[in-house]
Structure 1
């Protein structure tokens, strides 16, 4: 049964689309409103103009990264296999864990990332579990 027709497949597809949309939206936010996106990491904006310019540029890089992750999830979800979606979600969860670890080193904001990372990890594992097994 194709993934989209099974109850598990519909749930995975919907949940994956939701997370992909959140990543794309956060990426656009980081590119357009870097100071607001910086608050997701519990950092204060820098005081100096040169420092602010650097932070704005780095937040654009972060934004492009999030947009890319969202687009890759969309592609794996709609054009790939359950296995490709599963591994894409698992790797994406590792990015969220890493973002949380960065915040943890600064003492705050880590649960803003660690709260959703396990959900994406479980979705990835479920997608892998929905893959038809190949016997060699």
Structure 2
């Protein structure tokens, strides 16, 4: 196995994961959030959970799942490389999100944002593992 081939596989998976994340977040913000969210619905924690956090977790899960589906053997057999392939894009997106929103973020927003990434990544990895037998 060549080292360059593994790096190219990671870059390809990261690029695809970034595209999936951006596209799914765009659809969420444009269609779902734009249609259902208003100030009254976002006042309570339940409204924010259903209209912001759960859809964000679904976007992260879809990103991790898609990255896992694209990460092929023989690179997939390395746990470290496979974890990097699956979780690098959501982790990078979380860091960027925290950096951009740090000044105006609340404790609830920060903790829920981190929880969303963890839950979404777990669900995406679980979906990927369920489909490992299909290969």
TM-score (norm 2): 0.34
Flag the structure with higher helix content. Answer: 2
Higher relative contact order (CA 8 A, sep 6+): 2
Q: TM-score, normalised by structure 1?
A: 0.33
